Structures are given as C-alpha cells and as structure tokens.
Structure 1
Amino acid sequence: MNQDFSTIIERFGIGKRGSLAVVHQGTGYFACTPQAPYDGSLSTADQTRQLLAKAEARLAEIGSAREGLLFCAIMLADMGDYAAMNEVWDEWVAGIAPPARACFEARLASPDLKVEMIMVCAVKPA
C-alpha cells in the first residue's frame, strides 16, 4: 500500500540518500555539517562557525530562524573540544531563548569532520 505524503510533508534538497530538510505539521528537521569538503586542519570552533552559518541559511530556507529552534543534538568527534564548540554556540544563541540540546561524542563519517548537529525547529505557516 503506497500512501501519498506529498501533501503533508515538504522536503528540501532531495538527494539519493536523504533530504537536506523535512517539514511536517509546522516542525522542521535537518542535520548540518561544516562546509564540504571538510577541512580537518580547521579547529572545532571554526568548523562550528561554518556549521552554524549553514544551519542559519537552512532555517531561513524552510521558514524558520534561530528563535524557532526547539532542539539540537550536537555530536563532537572529541569531547575535549566541548568548551571550544560551546564558546561559538553561546555567541550564536546570545539574545534568544536557546533550544533544548544534548551533546555527545561520536565517531563521525569523516576523520576531517569534528562537529555535526541535528536540529528540530518550529516553522512559520506559509
């Protein structure tokens, strides 16, 4: 039984393995990494800055903003970089009510990748 969800799910940047973002019933979901190709010579702080710039653009593309963030899961290749990532994060969420979040260490898809985030946000009605 093939159901048609195209009227209730909006997908952005549909690729072979996944979409860049998905919106359903006013909630947006996406994962974000630093600029590709990943530059392993950059610090975790610099990769976090790249990632958050991409996240901000993606939020705008799907009809949201930093203020609309509900939850963020942060994955670090090395928890030793937690303070450096937090410094950049704290600047990015300054002046807004920050989302709920979790941070953990994980083996990421590339040895040059130091940080990745999964974000859930509220999306304004069209």
Structure 2
Amino acid sequence: MAGEISELKDVIQRIDGGPRMSMGVRHKDTVYFAVTPQAPYDGNLSAAEQCRQLFQKAQGRLDVLGSSRSNLLFVAIVLADMSDLDEVNAVWDSWIDQKNPPARACFEASLTQPSLKLEMIMIAAVNDSE
C-alpha cells in the first residue's frame, strides 16, 4: 500500500502550488484548473468582458500546462447570475474550438466576491508532444 501511494504522488504534478491551492494540477496526461477574470475583479465590466478576461487567462494556463483549447475535455461554467448566460455563450462560441468542443455544464452559484460574475473549471488533455 505505501508503495502505491508514493507511485501516485510521482504522477501528480502541482503547478504553482500554495498553501490554499495550485494554479493547476497535472495527473498523467490530464490537467485540471480553475480560472477567473483578471483580479482585482471589476464589477463594472459586463459578464462578456469578464469572460474575455477569463479566456485570456485560461489560454495562458493551457499553454503553461502543456495543453490547448482543442484538448479541453470538460468545462464547468459558474455564473453569479444565470441571466448572463447568453452574453457568456456569445464569448464562448467565439473562443472555443468548435471542431473539438468539450463537454460542458453551466450553473449559478454565489461566488467569492460580489464583483465576480463568473468562474470556470477546466479539464484538458496534455498535448501529444509533451
């Protein structure tokens, strides 16, 4: 059992980990991360504008983690207000690789700050060249 645990630790890579969370986690050929718009969050921005910021950060994380939009497997979209969904969908449609769309879920929840309009949780495969 102890050997199995150390082997599992060897295949989990935490990227930019801190005491509360990691920027991303890689397990074998899969990466996991959450992403928000650029902090400090500007509540005067529309949900679409925050979504564009979020996707800019997401692209950077995918690059650092050795993945890409084409390799997204699953995205959970968390909205502070479901009435923003159409706005967010328009930005999503322009950013996502429509030839390789991920599975997706969208739900409404109270987020950590009133000015934060959305957050996303992403799971992606690592590029073959990694």
- The answer for the alignment partner of 1:23 in structure 2 is 26
Counterpart residue identity of residue 120, structure 2? M
The 2-side partners of 1:66 and 1:108 are apart by 25
- The answer for the alignment partner of 1:57 in structure 2 is 60
**How far did 1:6 drift?**
4.2
Q: Considering only aligned residues, what root-mean-square deviation do their CA atoms show, in Å?
A: 1.5
Q: Which runs of 4+ in 1 moved over 6 A?
A: none
- Deviation by residue 1:37-86 (Cα, 9 ceiling, x = unmatched): 10111000000000001001100101000000000000000000000000
Counterpart residue identity of residue 66, structure 1? R
Report which of the two has the higher share of helix.
2
Aligned residues: 126
Work out whether residues 68 and 127 of structure 2, in 8 Å CA contact, stay in contact via their aligned partners in 1: no
State the percentage of identical aligned residues.
54
Determine if the alignment matches structure 1 residue 87 to structure 2 residue 57: no
Determine if the alignment matches structure 1 residue 100 to structure 2 residue 103: yes
**How far did 1:25 drift?**
1.3
Counterpart residue identity of residue 107, structure 2? F
The gaps in structure 2 that reach 5 residues or longer are none
**How far did 1:94 drift?**
4.7
The 1-side partners of 2:45 and 2:125 are apart by 31
Match of 2:118 among 115, 120, 123: 115
The 1-side partners of 2:53 and 2:99 are apart by 20
Counterpart residue identity of residue 111, structure 1? P
What are the equivalent positions in structure 2 for 1:67-86 lying under 5 Å apart? 67-86=70-89
